[in-house]
Structure 1
């Protein structure tokens, strides 16, 4: 039965191999007195069930040496060995491997003696006591230990390290994953929409029917109607004369000369709007004051519509709009204002 059970991560094999040699040579014990899964002659014999053999070997060693490294914490099997040694109340020694340190320990390792891999004198004293070794050759230990410590930096440098993701990168990946899911869902919806459009197109009897289906399934039309609806709703909250001058801001330079003979109603309402702080005038010329919050809101929506029209210039939307209305989609066209933006009974220059 092995007297020493070395619990370690397979990735730390090179380090464990050097440590096992140091113990075997200085303690003058046989290879089979040490159980270490990754080392030839000290691990699981060929043909044996791996898990069953380890369960047997961890039952009653005199001491369990835990090579605690970053790789150890990443190994589920190592953590099972650690739990088993705790449950069986074995004497445990812990050797920490950089970058881990004593303050990284906790849980079942609370109260356990901890030594660093480069500070082994206390560690070997505990092993001597556990194995009952009386005749210990200190000069041999010092010599072999020095040789081990000399090789240690290069061994540690050669050990593979677990790949860990920083919290910042994890959160970034989580965000990207969420974005990909939303994009996938959107694309699925678009595919379904296209399938429905194809079904309707197959039922079309003439070019006019095809145009109706294209318009119905053109996302730009929905955006256009939504923006125009918001603009009309905002304009409806203002006096009619103010809506007239907002339209003039886009149809001309915004200044209009009014007289009571040609535009009596418009002139009267414009005078009232001036008194309310919406307009200014000089010698019969009236223009809009853009400081009012309601006016700013309307202009903001109409500017949004202007951007939409510019972005969709030359697209299917622009082509279908022209075919339906016989004029370009433009804020510089009074027919456009009359049909899509100004509420009924609003003033509009002839």
Structure 2
């Protein structure tokens, strides 16, 4: 027949198990026969008995299993087997968290279990009350329990300091190492990609035959070029949603910052398309014939949202990119340059009727 209380602990934690059993015996007025603790004299394995068989017998039907969850406990395969058996048999379990372990260190092992801190007075009081309920025991008077509890807590720091520690990495530290390793691999991968790109650039430049081809290759391998192309494609996509006359007005108003004035010399086709855009509320025409974009129109809003990042980018330090662009296209990289708009943003950017 197994004992009522099974103390599951690592052999290296024997001094701690000894102190806890003393607290249970003296503070709860409990007979030694009711407690099984494998490493303690008189409470453990009888002389001549098979160790494993006796442990298996004792863990069959205790009323309570007290597990001393310490670094040594987590490092012991035998202790984890006892823990697994306790779960499998649905025994009433009382896990005691032993410093320096924290809740975060045992979340994977102790999922859904209420942990009791062995160095907290209130937690020990709760353990006492729960054990009395499970064992249907009245226990020792409260004053006696508090006296023994306080002596246990006072002596606990020196006991814990003297316990041998396993080579165990806390879960949080292990996760940090894993994250650092993953980040390092990603960085190395990026550097290798960069080196491959540089090697490809050198190879292509060595084979280039003229200045225009060199400029094209430099642009293709430039990170700033990637940014520029992304911004240009975003604006070009929005421009294609507009009638060509409105796209031209976008170039004049945002790029060249010049108003367009309708007069008798304006081409008939241009006047017709402007009037159609005005009827669609994309542009407005004042009494003097000046045309302007209707900024509250959703399509015009999207144009301005795409235009501003491109302007901000080109207002920055893009000298090398501009030189490569000018060598390739034989024109200026500038938002007030119609040839730039036609080449990279919208080929429709030209006066209608020309």
Equivalent pair of 2:255/2:335 in contact (CA under 8 Å): yes
Q: 1:133 corresponds to which residue?
A: none
Equivalent pair of 1:68/1:96 in contact (CA under 8 Å): yes
Q: Structure 1, residues 3-35: CA drift from partner, whole Å, max 9, x if none?
A: 997531457544212245679999999xxx986
The secondary structure found in structure 1 opposite 2:286 is strand
Q: 1:134 corresponds to which residue?
A: none
Cα 1:221/1:348, change in 2 over 3 Å = farther
Equivalent pair of 2:248/2:348 in contact (CA under 8 Å): no
Unaligned runs of 5+ in 1: 45-51, 106-114, 128-137
User: What is the CA–CA distance in structure 2 between the aligned matches of 1:273 and 1:147, rounded to whole Å?
Assistant: 91
Q: 2:313 corresponds to which residue?
A: 308
Q: 1:71 corresponds to which residue?
A: 70
For the pair 1:81 / 2:110, whether they are aligned, the reply is no
Q: Of 262, 265, 270, which residue of structure 2 is paired with 1:266?
A: 270
User: What is the CA–CA distance in structure 1 between the aligned matches of 2:142 and 2:310, rounded to whole Å?
Assistant: 84
Q: 2:117 corresponds to which residue?
A: none
User: What is the CA–CA distance in structure 2 between the aligned matches of 1:260 and 1:67, rounded to whole Å?
Assistant: 98
Equivalent pair of 1:35/1:57 in contact (CA under 8 Å): no
Tell me which structure has the larger Cα radius of gyration: 1
For the pair 1:280 / 2:285, whether they are aligned, the reply is yes
For the pair 1:198 / 2:202, whether they are aligned, the reply is yes
User: What is the CA–CA distance in structure 2 between the aligned matches of 1:268 and 1:196, rounded to whole Å?
Assistant: 52
For the pair 1:232 / 2:236, whether they are aligned, the reply is yes
Q: Tell me the CA shift for residue 331 of structure 1.
A: 1.0
User: What is the CA–CA distance in structure 1 between the aligned matches of 2:288 and 2:82, rounded to whole Å?
Assistant: 97
The secondary structure found in structure 1 opposite 2:249 is helix
Q: Tell me the CA shift for residue 270 of structure 1.
A: 2.3
RMSD of aligned residue pairs (Cα, Å): 5.4
Q: Tell me the CA shift for residue 246 of structure 1.
A: 1.0
Equivalent pair of 1:8/1:68 in contact (CA under 8 Å): yes
Q: 2:335 corresponds to which residue?
A: 331
User: What is the CA–CA distance in structure 2 between the aligned matches of 1:36 and 1:142, rounded to whole Å?
Assistant: 29
Q: Tell me the CA shift for residue 320 of structure 1.
A: 1.0
Cα 1:199/1:43, change in 2 over 3 Å = farther
Q: Structure 1, residues 168-208: CA drift from partner, whole Å, max 9, x if none?
A: xx8x9999998777666555543433333233344446766
Q: Structure 1, residues 182-238: CA drift from partner, whole Å, max 9, x if none?
A: 666555543433333233344446766544432222233344334434433433332
The 5 A counterparts of 1:43-62 are 54-55=51-52, 57-58=54-55
Cα 1:57/1:309, change in 2 over 3 Å = same
Q: TM-score w.r.t. structure 2 length?
A: 0.61
Q: 1:111 corresponds to which residue?
A: none
User: What is the CA–CA distance in structure 1 between the aligned matches of 2:334 and 2:24, rounded to whole Å?
Assistant: 88
User: What is the CA–CA distance in structure 2 between the aligned matches of 1:305 and 1:57, rounded to whole Å?
Assistant: 78
Cα 1:186/1:93, change in 2 over 3 Å = closer
The secondary structure found in structure 2 opposite 1:58 is helix
User: What is the CA–CA distance in structure 2 between the aligned matches of 1:239 and 1:288, rounded to whole Å?
Assistant: 12
The 5 A counterparts of 1:85-234 are 97=96, 104=113, 118=128, 148-156=148-156, 159=160, 163=170, 186-204=190-208, 210-234=214-238
For the pair 1:242 / 2:243, whether they are aligned, the reply is no
Cα 1:203/1:43, change in 2 over 3 Å = farther
Q: Tell me the CA shift for residue 252 of structure 1.
A: 4.1
Cα 1:11/1:211, change in 2 over 3 Å = farther
The secondary structure found in structure 2 opposite 1:294 is helix
Q: Tell me the CA shift for residue 330 of structure 1.
A: 1.7
User: What is the CA–CA distance in structure 2 between the aligned matches of 1:245 and 1:306, rounded to whole Å?
Assistant: 17
User: What is the CA–CA distance in structure 1 between the aligned matches of 2:239 and 2:92, rounded to whole Å?
Assistant: 81
Equivalent pair of 1:241/1:269 in contact (CA under 8 Å): yes
Q: Tell me the CA shift for residue 96 of structure 1.
A: 5.5
Unaligned runs of 5+ in 2: 104-111, 115-124
